[in-house]
Amino acid sequence: MASNEMGLFRNIQGQDAALRILSRALREGKLASAYLFEGPSGVGKERAAVALAREVISEGDREIAERIDRGAHPDLRIFRPREDGARNLPVETFREEILPIVQFAPFEARSTFLIFPDADLSFPEHHPEAANAFLKTLEEPPPAVHFILLASRPDRLLDTTRSRCQRVRFAPLENRVLHDLLLRAKITDESIRSSAIALAGGRADRALELARGSRVEDLFELAVSIDRAAAERKPGTRLDRADALRAAEDPQLALEALAIFYRDLVQLLAARDPVALAFSHREAELRVRARALDIERAAEAESIVRKSIHNLERGANAQIALEALIFELAGAR
């Protein structure tokens, strides 16, 4: 990327393709009225949106840029999902708080930017009232107002909403980017860094969270307990573990840890380099477990967990899906 582009997006790593699209639009004066930045959370979508708005609104004026950085400029507004319930924005909020801004903007600058982090939560397809009201605004956008929707699950937005936006894909961050990030955060334990990166799914926020405290250890212990419960011929124990999994702070992450636990067993059974293990610091325990399992069954167990993750992402009932998971794992032994 050119040096001025690097300056504009200097705090965003690993997203050259997305940033190149935005930089070209700026250079050519062809910014879209609505963008959909899609990709995992924690990979730079919101930073890129704010940087883009900052560049357009400030027009190089440092004082204006500093106001934007303080969140004190009326032409940059960020609307997050509500904290309670399903987190979708009620249609009243859209009509009473957002629509008046759209109607009267811009206020000081030549353009106004409205940014919607987690737009797939704010305007989901299954809560269509605010989504339809927002869609009408996208269909008749004011000339000086730009909308930037950020979504990790864009498929949850209305098809018509997606079609009104220019889509810009933000990819999961590469391991090397996460590794450098954790080093800068002074995470010195190499094994913890490796586990955090393996579990992070390309997300910087998750990698940092996992590398601190006991999250990696807690996830490994939960995975071990689920594997042991599947081995026992006690339905009550299996159901207890399913409940523990559902009650985890982040059930999706707990399932990912379980899948990676079985992938590590596959790695060991295939006689691959132990350094490649996600839970390399627990290699001794993994080897003990691997001795009681063959590679086909370990691979089958990982596949069962991946299927459960997929089903939950598609809206399956969590209690039923997780109970079924434990019993399916029992059959894969």
CA dihedral 21, 27, 30, 31 (to 10 degrees): 60
3 falls in which pLDDT band (50, 70, 90)? very low
Share of the chain above pLDDT 90, in %: 68
Can you tell me the mean pLDDT for 225-233? 87
CA distance 115 to 297: 47
Q: pLDDT for 269-311, tens place per residue?
A: 997 666 688 998 899 999 999 999 899 999 999 999 999 998 8
Q: pLDDT for 163-215, tens place per residue?
A: 999 999 999 999 999 999 999 999 988 888 999 999 999 999 999 999 988 88
Helices and strands in the chain: count of H runs, count of E runs: 18, 5
Q: Residues 60, 64, 66, 68: is their CA dihedral positive or negative? A: negative
CA distance 333 to 307: 17
4 falls in which pLDDT band (50, 70, 90)? very low
Question: Which regions of the chain carry the CATH code 3.40.50.300?
Answer: 3-169
pLDDT for 109: 96
Q: pLDDT for 40-94, tens place per residue?
A: 999 999 999 999 999 999 999 999 999 999 999 999 999 999 887 778 888 998 9
Residue 155 DSSP label: G
Q: pLDDT for 102-132, tens place per residue?
A: 999 999 999 999 999 999 999 988 888 889 9
Name the CATH architecture for the domain at 214-331: Up-down Bundle (1.20)
CB contact at 8 A, 266 and 299:
yes
Question: Which regions of the chain carry the CATH code 1.20.272.10?
Answer: 214-331
Strands (E), 81-129: 112-116
**pTM recorded for the entire structure:** 0.83
pLDDT for 2: 44
In one-letter notation, the amino acid at residue 65 is: A
pLDDT for 47: 95
* Backbone angles phi and psi of 280, in degrees to 5: -65, -25
Name the strand (E) or helix (H) holding 298: helix 295-313
CA distance 228 to 108: 62
Domain 3-169 belongs in CATH node 3.40.50.300: yes
Beta-carbon-side half-sphere exposure of residue 153 (alpha carbons within 13 Å): 11
